[in-house]
Structure 1
Amino acid sequence: MIPSRLYRACLSLVLSGSAGHLYADSLEFHRIYRSAYFLGRGDTGVATADYHEAIFYNPAGLAKGKGLYKETVLISPTVQVSTKTKDLVRQVLVQEDNDPDTLRGYLGRNLHLGVSNFTGVVFRRAALGILASSDTNVMLAKSADERGLETLHADAVANRVAVFSAAEDFFNQKLLVGITGKYIMRNEATLDVSALDSDNISDQLSSNDAEISRNGIGVDLGLMYDMDKKPWRFGLHVENLGTTKLAAGESGVSSKRLPQIVTLGAAYDLTTKMSSLVVQADFRDVGGAVEKDTFKRLHLGTELQFARVFGFMGGLNQGYPTVGLFLNLYVARLDIGAYTEEVGSTAGVRPDQRLFFRLKAGF
């Protein structure tokens, strides 16, 4: 579970009071999990996902390989942060500088902070684990509803998720089928506040009035197909099959549904015993349940790795370049890199440059 102090620190940068007053181009859809490994290669992986990433990107990948055991993940702390967030966190939380002039320096810029940790055990054909994740987006912008006054607005989501996945292979591992069941406990917080009142943000959030708790059970479905004697692989992932209903924990608060998101993926995989080169393409949200812009749904990536010890990644996430690298020492693994997320309604409107870091320990 994410430490309450860190979650409150995220919330103290959260400002978007009621959904009716939020700016549509300042927010992004909150995903339960994003792999630091996959982000470096354009956030692609539906056709090749394996190990614990397969649980969330395509559970069919758990059926790949031989033997019984894949990995145990003890801890895997991951951080995604906008390049501008570090400066604001220092000013607002450390120096307690909430002066409106401080915030005006970030006018029109989305500030993102994402934190997650997965712990679990992964076998071939089955996996069990617990995920804690939190996402916060913040933006200072001129409000059309408030006659152009500067308004600080954003939203935060914290998830605690228990997952169980199962997979099976058919036709000599040419066709893989997998399913993930998940129990989600979610806390959401939204606030809207004038920049002139920004010095009261911490007090407002500490009252818990801005938080809404919901929980529910969902299912993800995955398929993979490996062409016979050819390096092509294809994948299909259905997240929140039939939608996932999250019931509110408080009376008088409505339930909500997480949308069904269908992603198609293809990969050209040249793997040897000592190295591999993979080129991938994913088209996320085929039905447009969340994103309407075609370019925001497109992900391209490539990866070159050596003996699963060291690897370089690159790609395009929503049309913006990504880069990453990993160092795997078997009991510990480091992933670092950078990517850009489009938080506007269409590609090219409001890019948010971010850094990511993950340190995984296990065996």
Structure 2
Amino acid sequence: MRILFFVLILFSSNSWAQSLGDTARSIRARGMGGVYVPFVGGADALFVNPAALGKGSVLDIKLMELTVGTNTELVENLSAFQSIDANDPSTFNQFYGKKMWAQATGKAAVALPFIALGYLNDSEVSVELHNPAFPQFETYFRNDEAVYLGSAFPIGPATYVGMSLKRVNRWGGNTQELAVSDVADASSLQDIGTNFQNKGTGYGLDLAISTELQAPVLKPTLALVWQDVGSTAFKQTAGSDAPPHIEQNLTFGAGLGVDLPGLDLALGLEARHLMEPDIELGKKIHVGAEISLPMIDLRAGYNQGYLSYGAGINLLIFQLDAVSYTEETGFYPGQAGDARYMVSLSFDLSFDANFKFTDNNGKKRKLKQRR
């Protein structure tokens, strides 16, 4: 641990950008205020905390996880885009100062004991109209397509070290001005993306260490995850310049788990961007809880100074999740909160050491033992 902290200090920097582990974080995490590092398991650990690959199922197959999200501004103004007339400036008035945001993410992965392979595709776009004299949308677009290979190994009782190697193809990742017609005529995120020409390929590394403390009832877990070690830079493959690189991110997570008959309880805390002194402490802290019943999961949390709420429905191999949360887009908590909503559908097959079917959180489902 001392060696790890020493290396972290050497690579510390003052710039900051969200890693894939942040932007493509699951709905379960967002419902718990962003907390996930101490609780993640199975195939999902590959993307969040590779040390957690050392525990869990004998086989976990994430055949599909599809997530879509939007913010309140887009929900309230989406239909109004149809009324935009490039020759009538008055039709733009209702959009000034409103930042509209959308995201779509797809994941697939296979995890065996101590090793996993996965795929992630994540797209994000935001637009905000300004300059009444010559109306234009200040537009951000990013698409990341990544392949992950991760592994973990034990270094002590219930203690694991893990790493994930990833190859990322990035498209966009910056902000530029677009004409009103470019945004109003777009029917998808990809349509907006055609206005962004910069593309690049980069290789990144995530490191992690996780331990579960021995306790009679509670299951205390501590985890330290270093994503994009030394930052992940991109080599230009198209356009006039390489996409912006992904800054490294150091995250500490702590969680408690209680397993009771018919009821599981998880409480956790997570602190991100620990190497970034310029980021307000309130933006780094995430706190959350989850109550799991046989078929329903209820979640709540505190994310960057705002409350979050979420729920999930387990239908054997299918799970449907939804969340309402607020993302701080300003420099400090409470400055510029953006209310957002997300839903996801996942399809998972997971088996424990006794070949009993479980869900992707390791919870046994009432199915007959497979021989």
State the TM-score, normalizing by the size of structure 1: 0.81
| Deviation for aligned residue 1:110 | 2.2
| Deviation for aligned residue 1:88 | 3.1
In structure 1, how many angstroms separate the alpha carbons of the residues matched to 2:193 and 2:340?
A: 31
| Deviation for aligned residue 1:61 | 1.1
Which structure 2 residues correspond to residues 28-107 of structure 1 after superposition, within 5 A? 29=18, 31=20, 32-65=23-56, 68-69=58-59, 71-92=60-81, 100-107=89-96
1:282 maps to what in 2? 270
Q: Structure 1 residues 221, 97: closer, same or farther in 2, change over 3 A?
A: farther
1:117 maps to what in 2? 106
| Deviation for aligned residue 1:134 | 0.2
**Aligned 8 A contact 1:162 1:183 in 2:** yes
Structure 2 residues without counterparts, runs of 5 or longer: 1-15, 350-371
Q: Structure 1 residues 28, 141: closer, same or farther in 2, change over 3 A?
A: farther
- 2:160 is aligned with 1:176: yes
1:265 maps to what in 2? 253
State the TM-score, normalizing by the size of structure 2: 0.79
SS where residue 211 of structure 1 aligns? coil
In structure 2, how many angstroms separate the alpha carbons of the residues matched to 1:51 and 1:104?
A: 49
The amino acid of 1:328's aligned partner reads N
1:138 maps to what in 2? 127
1:129 maps to what in 2? 118
After superposition, the C-alpha distances for 1:134-168 in whole angstroms (9 at most, x for unaligned) are: 0112223469xxxx976521201011111111112
**Aligned 8 A contact 1:30 1:135 in 2:** no
Counterpart among 213, 221, 233 of residue 227 in structure 1: 213
SS where residue 332 of structure 2 aligns? coil
- 2:338 is aligned with 1:348: no
Count of residue pairs brought into register by the alignment: 324
In structure 2, how many angstroms separate the alpha carbons of the residues matched to 1:156 and 1:207?
A: 6
Q: Structure 1 residues 326, 154: closer, same or farther in 2, change over 3 A?
A: same
What RMSD over aligned residues (CA atoms) do the two structures have, in Å?
2.7
| Deviation for aligned residue 1:323 | 0.5
- 2:207 is aligned with 1:218: no
The amino acid of 1:329's aligned partner reads L
In structure 2, how many angstroms separate the alpha carbons of the residues matched to 1:355 and 1:298?
A: 20
- 2:181 is aligned with 1:199: yes
In structure 1, how many angstroms separate the alpha carbons of the residues matched to 2:234 and 2:118?
A: 20
2:368 maps to what in 1? none
- 2:155 is aligned with 1:164: no
1:253 maps to what in 2? 241
Q: Structure 1 residues 253, 47: closer, same or farther in 2, change over 3 A?
A: same
The amino acid of 1:40's aligned partner reads G
2:285 maps to what in 1? 298
In structure 2, how many angstroms separate the alpha carbons of the residues matched to 1:105 and 1:88?
A: 8
Structure 1 residues without counterparts, runs of 5 or longer: 1-26
| Deviation for aligned residue 1:242 | 1.6
In structure 1, how many angstroms separate the alpha carbons of the residues matched to 2:241 and 2:247?
A: 19
1:312 maps to what in 2? 298
**Aligned 8 A contact 1:64 1:169 in 2:** no
The amino acid of 1:211's aligned partner reads Q
Q: Structure 1 residues 325, 208: closer, same or farther in 2, change over 3 A?
A: closer
Overall identity of the aligned pairs, in % = 23
